[in-house]
Amino acid sequence: MGEVLVTGGAGYIGSHIVRRLVETGRTVVVIDNLSEGSEKALPGEVELVRSDFADRARLDELFGKREIRHVIHMAALALVGDSVSDPATYYRQNVVGSLALLEAAREHQVEGIVFSSTAATYGNPVSLPIDEEHPTRPTNPYGETKLAFERALSWYRNAYGLRYVALRYFNAAGAHPDGDIGEFRRRETHLIPRLLRGILAGEETVVPIFGTDYPTTDGTCVRDYVHVVDLAEAHVHALRALEQGGMEGESFNLGNGEGFSVREVVDMVGKVTGRRPKTEDAPRRAGDPPILVASAARARERLGWQPRLPTLGEIVQTAWKWHESHPRGYES
Ligand code: UFG
């Protein structure tokens, strides 16, 4: 089976993947600079290499001494707003950095790569739900850089036979049902953790609702929230498909196929926590498409992926369990 290298494995989604890989009996090595992630998010038996994922010398050393046959590439910058104001940094990390990893993987006989991609590769939807045949016209550098690397993967596959699966997440949310790993960023921009942390922080915290005049049922943006544990499971399926040789190179959407408006999420947070989050109507946030809903039929058919925690209630409940018990994240 060989060993699996997970870049960004100490981060929010990465740590859920690593836990699942260990449960399936795999030997996992994580490379993470801990800019967002935490060592405490990792199982004890996993080796953590604390480094930038694109450091060629460290990668050569790692590939040289371990039997790494597959890479799950999670490490990236992932904030849409930051990518618009600072595209250079996003291109450097997400494209140039990822190409360094790809070069090292190629030279060290890695067989396959699972890549963390995003719904932001599509841009503004021209049809819904969004399937993988939908045009890819990103509206921000974040989506552009992810798409650029997907294309690099496709050309590397053609030229060198390095196989890949790119997983395009819609809105990752929730936390492990055990309540001991979850989402925590120094600067939080995402809706569900913002609402939950706002409740924990007390009365004075008000969460803005970005845009109330969208062409949706209640005027707020609609998103397809998908549980992080289900995302993790999809990576295990993707890895298995690569290991079994049944996958040359393909992109897959991961979502539940159901959209919820910002106000519906606020209501669910109120219902789950028993406390009404404080919100205020605010102007639209630049770059937000009105509606993003996935068709994940291809992932179900070709990867055998089946979400186990598909409801918004389960997503918010598990997130609340984590935040309530970890009000300062892993420092709690
Ligand atoms: N929102 C608010 N108030 C907030 C935060 C968010 O109203 O304080 C709204 C946003 O405007 C959006 C929705 O809640 O309509 C969800 O926003 P998030 O920031 O939680 O997530 P995004 O949909 O912006 O982004 C997610 C991922 C990105 C990915 C994108 C795909 O975090 O990495 O989906 O389009 F690129």
Closest protein CA for atom 5 of ligand 1: 191
Q: Global pTM? A: 0.97
Tokens of 324: 């309530």
pLDDT in tens, 304-332: 999 999 999 999 999 999 999 999 999 98
Asked if the model's pLDDT at residue 78 lies above 80, the reply is yes
Residue with CA nearest ligand 1 atom 16: 191
Sign of the torsion formed by the C-alpha atoms of 316, 319, 324 and 329: negative
Q: What's the pLDDT at 203? A: 76
Q: Which of 12, 90, 122, 142 is catalytic?
A: 142
CA of residue 171 to ligand 1 center, whole Å: 7
Residue 202, pLDDT > 90, answer no
Task: Look at ligand 1, atom 14, and give the residue with the nearest C-alpha.
Answer: 191
Is residue 269 within 6 Å of ligand 1 at its C-beta?
Answer: no
Q: Is residue 185 in contact with ligand 1, taking CB distance under 6 Å? A: no
Question: Do residue 30 and residue 115 come from a single domain?
Answer: yes
Cβ 208 under 6 angstroms from ligand 1: yes
Residue 16 backbone phi and psi in degrees, to 5: -70, -35
CATH of the domain at 59: 3.40.50.720
Nearest CA to ligand 1 atom 11: 210
87-119 residue pLDDT tens: 999 999 999 999 999 999 999 999 999 999 999
Are 269 and 319 in a shared domain? yes
Cα 164 to middle of ligand 1, angstroms:
27
CATH number of the structural domain spanning residue 262: 3.90.25.10
Q: pLDDT (tens digit, 9 = 90+) per residue, 12-44? A: 999 999 999 999 999 999 999 999 999 999 999
- Ligand 1 neighbourhood includes 78 CB (under 6 angstroms): yes
Q: What are phi and psi of 278, to 5 degrees?
A: -85, 125
Check whether residue 295 and residue 324 sit in a common domain. Answer: yes
pLDDT band at 286 (very low <50, low <70, confident <90, very high): confident
3-class DSSP assignment, residue 138: coil
Does residue 103 sit within a domain? yes
Same domain? For 299 and 247 the reply is: no
pLDDT in tens, 235-269: 999 999 999 998 999 999 999 999 999 999 999 99
pLDDT at 132: 98
- In angstroms, rounded to a whole number, what is the distance separating the alpha carbons of residues 201 and 264? 21
What is the number of structural domains in the chain? 2
Residues 229 and 87 in one domain: yes
What is d(CA 167, CA 187) in angstroms, rounded to the nearest whole number? 25
* Ligand 1 pocket, mutate which of 13, 121, 183, 191 (most atoms under 8 A from CB): 191
How much is the pLDDT for 2? 84
Q: What DSSP character marks residue 311?
A: S
Q: Is 164 a catalytic residue?
A: no
Between the CA of 242 and the centroid of ligand 1 the distance, in Å, is: 31
Confirm or reject: Cβ of 197 under 6 Å from ligand 1. no
For the segment 126-135, the average pLDDT, to the nearest whole number, is 98
Tokens encoding 115: 């890549």
Note whether 146 and 8 are same-domain residues.
yes
Per the structure, the complete domain to which residue 59 belongs is given by 3-173+225-254
Mutational pocket test of ligand 1: of 12, 36, 80, the residue with most ligand atoms within 8 Å of the beta carbon: 80
* pLDDT score recorded for residue 138: 95
Maximum separation of any 2 CA atoms in the chain, in Å: 58
